[in-house]
Structure 1
Amino acid sequence: MSALFNNQKKSFFGRMQERIEEVLLLRPRPDEDMLEELEEILITSDIGLETTAAMIDTLRSAIRNERLTDAQQVKDEIRKITTAMLDKGSLHGMSDHYPLIIMVIGVNGSGKTTSIAKLARRYMDEGKSVLLVAADTFRAAAAEQLCVWGERLSVPVIRHKEGADPSAVVYDGISAAKARRVDVVICDTAGRLQTKKNLMAELSKMYRVIDREFPDAARETLLVLDANTGKNAISQTREFHDVAGLTGIILTKMDGTAKGGIVVTIADVFDLPVKFIGTGEGLKDLEPFDAKTFADSIFGGEYRGEENGR
């Protein structure tokens, strides 16, 4: 995640850290006014109301118990709270069992196809063989976009014509993967928030095909979320998690103006691990998520008030 954090002047991390530093500089002793200002920063950074309230309540309790008596302690505590919410332990890692089938879900414009290409590149760099499956058959040009990436990466792509049954594409993809002894199969799946009934039927059919044709394969189901969608990411996560049983999140477009606090809310509300963060447009700009690094980058290291004459 270092590539993103090293460009803090333009990133969510740098902006949020600056705002928090200002509050701590002006209010070096913890009080209710400090908590109110911190609460506003968290909410306007796309951390949800309930998650923010839980964080502030924990801080308030610690202040009342005189466990937090200065700005540095407040910063350390909020960093610990955030890390605890984000850290899902070993769930942040991808399955290390092969063959592995990765189902990738996400609405149009989320960066799904690009994230698939980045995932493929990561596995190729690890010496794994990869096959792509274009099972998002209802979006115009979806298969063509995936094929462009496949050609660029020299990775085979299994596709059907637009509007074809996604399960049929998955079936052909699995057949090809088994015949070629492929390590990792990455399936581009549902690209729209349709009715739950239709989406569940579509995904369930694909999973039945996988269970029947490739029962020994490990499986991951990842949702690609655009960090710029803010609180809309919550509804997307809820919809897809309900019907697909997500195993993790890929958060994209964190290199721009995204606030990014939605990561904390998703981890807290859905107990889902963020697996990767997209930090740029390059094929290598997909980095494993680390909860402590993320929290440290939001809240910084040592409080700098003393350096400013406090």
Structure 2
Amino acid sequence: MFGFLRRFRRDDKAIEASQAEPIAPEPLTEPQAEPVEPPALAQESPQPSIEPVPPSPPQGGEPTEPPAGGLWSSLRSKLARTRAGLTEGLASLVLGKKQIDDELLEDIETRLLLADVGMETTQEIIADLTRRVSRKELKDPEALLEALYEHMVRLLEPVAQPLVIDPGRKPHVILVVGINGAGKTTTIGKLGQRYAQAGHKVMLAAGDTFRAAAVEQLQAWGARTGVQVIAQGQGADSAGVVFDALQAARARGADVLIADTAGRLHTQGGLMEEVKKVKRVLAKLDPSAPHEVLLVLDASIGQNALNQAVQFNEALGVTGLVITKLDGTAKGGIVFAITRRLGLPIRFIGVGEKAEDLRPFAAREFVDALLDHES
């Protein structure tokens, strides 16, 4: 059942009740003065605000997630901007409708496009709904919305694949790529914390030697999470840094090595070649490395994120995606467009600044939160 339909029905009943019975005025009360808090003393704060890490469990494994109910509620609030445009728009279209007509289908199509679901995905969804309406499988607008929900879940379920650390590979090498501004270095810090908390011995390689703050940012994450960072100065050869990091990780028995890379524009061919070089250098030490090529994409740039995914995949053979900044955009539908075009596994989504806001992707929970639906 869709939460927004329940809310609108409650509102309708409240309006009817208010028209039927007069409302007695409330007694006047004196306003109470708000207590005034004394001003806080200024404090110096270190660089990035990063949550302290609780002690790691003694054995390796995958991190545990919060209970499903709390996760759904929290994710629902994080996806508020996309839901406001998509779900609340659907509510206004469906309420009061007694039957499905062409106008309703066209309006749903417009809503999907505005959420950056993409032309191909939207046409596929509308074609499926139209076919089912013509067969009289869907007889009312609510049934139409339920069919829309199930179609979206079916589209995403095949790509909801967690990133699993292979204990037979020491270290399991994760090469993280993406353009500057997508949240690449922050994602690496959060991943390092995540796997360290799960009991893995983690090392980070500060391979983005182009952006001035990238190395310092990764070192700050390492200092706060107890994860060792292999780094050199700005302008150092990125492939050399990652090569040294893999040697160190093997020598020290690390379980996981997460390597940052230069994050400039995907359209700059020479810089894409630089990332290819990093991949080749890793393979010299371990022919199977990297074991994961993880592309970080910023959801807020919409269709440009899809273009980036296509070009990075062609150049590097991407094996997994992290889609960030879903909490700050109305374009969360880009997840569907990327899935429809590439079918790459979505390992994580980013829905906030805190370490726990980097979450494993779960298709049904995502669509539940996006459409205000309770499974």
TM-score between the two structures when normalised by the length of structure 2:
0.75
Between 1 and 2, higher relative CO (CA 8 Å, sep ≥ 6) is seen in 1
2: CA distance, partners of 1:297 / 1:3: 8
Q: Aligned with 1:205: secondary structure?
A: helix
2: CA distance, partners of 1:9 / 1:112: 20
Which residue matches 1:307?
none
Which residue matches 1:82?
152
Conserved 8 A contact 1:45-1:260 = yes
| TM-fit CA distance, 1:128 | 0.7
Of 151, 172, 181 in structure 2, the residue corresponding to residue 100 of structure 1 is: 172
Matched, 1:286 2:349: no
Conserved 8 A contact 2:202-2:257 = yes
Unpaired segments ≥5 residues, structure 2: 1-70
Among all aligned residue pairs of Structure 1 and Structure 2, give the percentage whose two residues are the same amino acid: 40
Computed over aligned residues only, the root mean square deviation of the Cα atoms, in angstroms, reads 2.1
| TM-fit CA distance, 1:251 | 1.3
| TM-fit CA distance, 1:286 | 0.8
Written as runs of structure 1 = structure 2, the 5 A alignment for 1:36-55 is 36-55=106-125
Larger radius of gyration: 2
Give the 3 Å change call, closer, same or farther, for CA 211–154 of structure 1 in structure 2. same
2: CA distance, partners of 1:243 / 1:8: 32
TM-score between the two structures when normalised by the length of structure 1:
0.90
2: CA distance, partners of 1:230 / 1:11: 14
Which residue matches 2:194?
122
Moved more, 213-222 or 122-131: 213-222
Q: How many residues are aligned here?
A: 302
Which residue matches 1:308?
none
1: CA distance, partners of 2:328 / 2:204: 28
1: CA distance, partners of 2:287 / 2:253: 15
Give the 3 Å change call, closer, same or farther, for CA 256–218 of structure 1 in structure 2. same
**Alignment-mate amino acid for residue 183 of structure 1:** D
| TM-fit CA distance, 1:299 | 2.6
Unpaired segments ≥5 residues, structure 1: 304-310
Which residue matches 2:261?
189
Written as runs of structure 1 = structure 2, the 5 A alignment for 1:1-310 is 2=72, 4-7=74-77, 10-88=80-158, 92-98=161-167, 99-195=171-267, 197-215=269-287, 219-301=291-373
Conserved 8 A contact 1:250-1:277 = yes
Conserved 8 A contact 1:227-1:258 = no
2: CA distance, partners of 1:133 / 1:104: 10
**Alignment-mate amino acid for residue 249 of structure 2:** A
Conserved 8 A contact 2:76-2:370 = no
2: CA distance, partners of 1:278 / 1:264: 16
Conserved 8 A contact 1:121-1:153 = yes
**Alignment-mate amino acid for residue 94 of structure 1:** L
